[in-house]
Amino acid sequence: MNNSLKFISIEIAARIKELFKSLSKDYIKLVYEEEDEICSFGIFTDSDISVFTFAYNTLHGIKSKMENRQNDEYNLLYKWWIPDWSTKIRENIFDDDLRETELFNILEKLIEETGVEDEYLEDEYFSNYKNDIFDLFCLSLEELNNEKVFIKRNNDFILLVQESDNGIKGDLAREASLLRLLTKDQIEDYKSIEKKW
């Protein structure tokens, strides 16, 4: 388990990771039943990292978007900004799934423990909570990748966790988390679009 946790206990972190991996595996199976040209898989979260959705991108989807625009800046955006991926972000995949309910309840309770709702500001506790969850999501995807859950992948395959309002812009903890999923070259490519946001 992750020794760099700053806010979440090891026991809670282990349960979050277990639930998240289980949901992810089921979603990935659904995706591969529908698509065979998947080039990216990602987790997109809200700015509190209390709600997340799964998303994926296909080679065909990227090519069709790039054909419509000849601007390299847009091409990078289609590659790295999850809301612009060729597929719609899918929510509520597992309606009434007890795993999903438990996971969201844990995240909600942790946010309450940060006290951020009382303070209306991002303090150190809240930042530590967000970084812990972000890293747990990255760790989970890394483990799924090592378990060969992502099939038919090429060398350019992208695994990504992305928070809606924040990238990695100088955040060494976030960058270290993403290096579990991305090569150094991919990280530099990803950073290049953050400069344009």
pLDDT tier at 26, thresholds 50, 70, 90: confident
The predicted structure's pLDDT at residue 120: 47
What's the average model confidence in pLDDT over 174-190?
Answer: 91
How many structural domains comprise the chain?
A: 1
Paired strand residues for 155: none
What's the average model confidence in pLDDT over 10-30?
Answer: 88
The predicted structure's pLDDT at residue 147: 92
- Does residue 108 have a pLDDT over 60? yes
| Cα–Cα distance, 178 to 171 (Å, whole number) | 11
Question: In terms of pLDDT, which residue wins out, 70 or 118?
Answer: 70
Within-domain flag for 32: yes
The predicted structure's pLDDT at residue 6: 81
Domain of residue 151 covers 10-194
The predicted structure's pLDDT at residue 139: 93
Within-domain flag for 1: no
Helices (DSSP H) in the chain: which residue ranges? 10-34, 59-68, 72-80, 98-114, 116-119, 124-146, 172-178, 184-194
- Mean pLDDT over the full length of the chain: 80
Q: Which of 119, 173, 121 is nearest to 6 (CA)?
A: 173
Contacts for 165 with CB less than 8 Å, ≥ 6 apart: 47
Within-domain flag for 3: no
| Cα–Cα distance, 120 to 10 (Å, whole number) | 27
Question: In terms of pLDDT, which residue wins out, 121 or 59?
Answer: 59
pLDDT tier at 161, thresholds 50, 70, 90: very high
